[in-house]
Amino acid sequence: MESNIFSKMFKGDKVIWFIFIALCIISLLEVFSATSTIVYRQQSHWGPILRHFIFLLIGLGGVMTLQFIPPKYFSLLILGVPFSVVLLVITMFLGEDVNGAQRWLGIGAFTIQPSEIAKISLIGFVAFFLSRMKPENTNLIFKIVIIAISATCGCILTENLSTALLLGIVCFMMLIIGQVPWKKIGLIVLVCVSALIILLLSLSFLPDSILPGRFSTWKARIERHGEDSNVVIGENGTTKYEITDQNYQITHAKIAIANGGIVGLPGSGVERDFLPQAYSDFIFAIILEEMGLIGGLFVLFLYLVLLIRAGILASKCDKKFPRYLILGSALMLGLQGFINMAVAVDLIPVTGQPLPLVSRGGTSTIITCIYFGIILSCSSSINNIEAHEDVDESIANINIDDIPTDEPVEN
């Protein structure tokens, strides 16, 4: 009886549910530890973690609701693209400036991040139109999708380059999966490479004084990445590493990783008190410090399994729309997770991408839960189809002669 109730409450793929619950538990543990600076400022020990717990609880409620919704209703996400573009434009002029970027829009007592709404809406938009693509309407569908991608990523680009690039890459991968003709894929690559070359040349040769918006910030991050300009030679010829405002975060992230070793320092990390974004952009460094290399590899393993499992589920879909939804959602979660982890270990320049479902957040946490809800909804539809197929197969295998009748047996 209890097993039936449990299976009814938690529909969908059990592997996806395991990944979701595991990431939520890790998030609660690490955010509780990493929010020490917020606790100090607010003079509230439980306030920061309680806020995060509430957002996770709201997200869990969303996941449990979405898993019962048939995938066809997620086609309504296409309406979110024009809505999110309007929000992004408003944010450009009226958004709240946090750390030099206007990415948040205040609505009453709440703040939302329109780029998160734009990301999930665009994935739904691309999945919907790719599922409707046929040989006779390929050109039209391609134009519609490219216009939507360009408009959405263009509005995000001015204040959040990494998010625009991430979203663009996910949509590009969806176009390949959606079997858009290779000639058109090649055209996209040519245009993007040309734009990237122009951007890099502009950052290299134009002075900071005339660079628009956050271009100078991007330039500084790229130039700082991997350079040894902070190594200072002393009077006696010895060298030492100088911590400056420019390398402060990544240096303390490296210290956290070194402190953690193999098994970590559970609940005893010290870099959480020094990293300004210990609970968000650099939470993976705190995970490595407190859970060690073993814990860090486990988190990496969860995102890898998410991508692999999503691919398996998508291959079982008999309809294109849920197939593209699963792959688009998983690609967004997986790639964003890899980017966050790569930043924490100094493989790529600082981007400001949170670790999905693990980093402390509001809008990002709820939207991440919606991604999981979409994947679980689509997997539930797969389970229903397989259950019907099993029933049909069982009926087909029944021998009519074995069916008992009410006719009297002759003596």
Q: 228 CB contacts (<8 Å, ≥6 apart)?
A: none
- List the beta bridge partners of residue 102: 97
- What does the pLDDT read at residue 386? 53
Q: Calculate the CA dihedral of residues 52, 308, 167, 219 and round it to 10 degrees.
A: 90
Question: How far is 316 from 311, CA to CA, in rounded Å?
Answer: 9
The whole-model pTM stands at 0.87
Q: What pLDDT is stored for residue 100 in this prediction?
A: 61
How remote is the C-alpha of 170 from its chain's centroid? 10
- Blockwise average pLDDT, block size 10, the chain, 411 residues: 65 92 94 80 79 93 93 93 92 75 73 90 96 92 95 88 92 94 94 88 73 68 64 62 76 89 85 83 92 95 96 93 95 96 89 90 91 94 58 48 51 41
CA distance 16 to 232: 49
| Euclidean distance between CA atoms 259 and 292, whole angstroms | 8
Angle between helix 14-34 and 283-316 (nearest 10)? 170
pLDDT at 390: 46
226: CB partners within 8 A, 6+ apart = 346
242: CB partners within 8 A, 6+ apart: 230, 231, 232
Among 26, 22, 20, 18, which Cα is nearest to 266's? 26
Residue 26 is encoded by which pair of tokens? 């890790």
Write the CA distances from 98 to 105, 106, 114, 184, 222, integer angstroms.
11, 12, 14, 39, 21
- Two tokens, residue 398: 């029944």
How much is the pLDDT for 92? 84
262 class by beta-carbon count within 10 Å (0-12 exposed, 13-18 middle, 19+ buried): exposed
Cα–Cα distance measured from residue 197 to residue 202, given in angstroms and rounded to the nearest whole number: 8
Asked if 281 and 353 touch (Cβ cutoff 8 Å), the reply is yes
Whole-angstrom distance, CA of residue 219 vs CA of residue 254: 22
Q: What radius of gyration do the chain's Cα atoms show? A: 25
- Given its phi and psi angles, is residue 316 left (phi above 0), alpha (psi -120 to 50 degrees) or beta? alpha
